[in-house]
């Protein structure tokens, strides 16, 4: 099956400001593509650039997407490993935009097989309940947000920390007092703490029944994680410390994490995410499905991946619930409260709304 041309869109989604330890976003810097084939159908791909984390911006994604599209014209869409290796040979890193191209290939392959993507990947549906994220703010404001989410049916809160360890303890104290003991609380420092701050925070926060802590320190302190693992009564999840399965191997073999957060924008898509998942599974390290600020298009591909990945035990799949002011997706994954589901249509089962695309900058290669 030959790739004939590729449509590339600047897929900006307005949203309420969202703050983490490394910065604030007021719109989702996304890129959307359609990879057309001579079979008469196309595959869709979406990625969400989070420059403070991955170093890619929407503009860099658009520039590199044009280069990638030129490489793929006239090539076989069904040879996924070969197509992805082309991208790796051309440009190192840049997993965010690579994930959109990866997603489009899997959409094409599953559509060609006449199967929903999760069945194409050998999976089956199961119950998936996402957490809901509280961005960094004043402790009392975060506590009010926690109460709101609890009243809306949330049973798992993910709380962003990492600005100031002492204030972070106060944030969690007020949230736990506000929501009670039944609701789960997991925290994400987004690399915001020093080693000393991490030890202090985690040893202090344990009394508030914390499920785990994501990425307490900058990745350049990865060598200190084994020591932190010994000192922390709270379990540690690697996020920015694991982009690919080589990173996962190093984290696991050095005793640096209890869990791993898989994100398509870091890994470069489903192909590499599966390698991370399988390596972690063999070593008894449960994984979480995470994300950046994707719409329900990329969310749908992640849900299919979850269904086919039994070692994913935690679900941080609230990205398009985090203040997106527009839903640019047709079809795709749906929320029933905080539970996700998707129809059994071929491929990913999601696409962009053509009316939304009319307002987007477009490139055809």
Q: Counting every residue, how long is the chain?
A: 365
56 is catalytic: no
Catalytic residue flag (residue 240)? no
- CB 136, CB 19: distance < 8 Å: yes
Instruction: List the catalytic residue out of 56, 107, 188, 351.
Output: 188
**Active site annotation includes 151:** no
CB 322 within 8 A of CB 284: no
Which among 239, 247, 272, 316 is annotated as catalytic? 239
The Cα 83–Cα 270 span in angstroms is: 13
Beta strands at 350-352 and 329-331: parallel, antiparallel or unpaired: antiparallel
Task: Report in angstroms the alpha-carbon separations of 339 from 42, 126, 128, 158.
Answer: 29, 10, 6, 16
For residue 350, the surrounding DSSP H or E stretch is strand 350-352
Examine the residue annotation and report whether 38 is marked as an active-site residue of this protein.
Answer: no
188 is catalytic: yes
Q: Which of 158, 163, 263, 302 is catalytic?
A: 263
Contacting residues for 319 by C-beta, under 8 A, at least 6 apart: 48, 291, 292, 293, 294, 295, 298, 299
- Catalytic pick from 197, 214, 240, 294? 214
Kindly name the residue from 98, 158, 160, 302 that is annotated as catalytic: 160
Where in the sequence numbering do the catalytic residues fall? 160, 188, 214, 239, 263
């Amino acid at each position: 099956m030959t790739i004939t041309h590729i449509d590339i869109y600047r897929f900006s989604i307005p949203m309420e400001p969202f703050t983490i330890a490394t910065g604030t976003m007021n719109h989702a810097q996304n890129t959307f593509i359609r990879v057309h084939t001579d079979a008469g159908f196309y595959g869709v791909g979406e990625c969400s650039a989070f420059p403070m984390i991955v170093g890619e911006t929407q503009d860099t994604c658009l520039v590199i997407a044009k280069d990638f599209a030129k490489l793929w014209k006239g090539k076989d869409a069904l040879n996924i490993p070969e197509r992805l290796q082309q991208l790796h040979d051309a440009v190192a890193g840049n997993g965010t935009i690579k994930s959109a191209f990866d997603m489009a290939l899997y959409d094409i392959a599953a559509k060609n097989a006449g199967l929903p993507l999760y069945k194409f990947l050998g999976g089956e549906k199961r119950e998936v309940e996402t957490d809901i994220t509280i961005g960094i703010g004043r402790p009392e404001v975060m506590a009010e947000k926690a109460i709101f989410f609890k009243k809306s049916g949330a049973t798992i809160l993910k709380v962003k920390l990492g600005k100031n360890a002492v204030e972070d303890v106060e944030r969690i104290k007020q949230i736990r007092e506000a929501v009670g003991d039944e609701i789960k609380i997991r925290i994400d420092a987004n690399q915001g703490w020093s080693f000393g701050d991490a030890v202090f925070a985690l040893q202090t926060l344990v009394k508030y029944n914390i499920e785990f802590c994501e990425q307490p320190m900058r990745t350049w302190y990865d060598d200190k994680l084994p020591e932190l693992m010994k000192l922390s009564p709270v379990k540690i999840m690697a996020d920015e410390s694991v982009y690919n399965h080589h990173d996962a191997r190093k984290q696991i073999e050095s005793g640096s994490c209890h869990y791993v957060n898989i994100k398509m924008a870091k890994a470069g898509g489903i192909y590499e995410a599966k390698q991370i998942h399988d390596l972690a599974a063999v070593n008894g390290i449960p994984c979480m499905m995470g994300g950046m600020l994707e719409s329900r298009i990329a969310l749908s591909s992640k849900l299919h991946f979850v269904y086919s990945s039994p070692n994913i035990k935690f679900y941080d799949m609230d990205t398009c619930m985090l203040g997106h002011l527009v839903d640019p997706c047709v079809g795709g994954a749906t929320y029933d409260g905080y539970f996700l589901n998707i129809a059994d249509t071929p491929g990913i089962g999601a696409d962009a709304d053509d009316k939304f695309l009319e307002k987007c900058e477009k490139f055809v290669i």
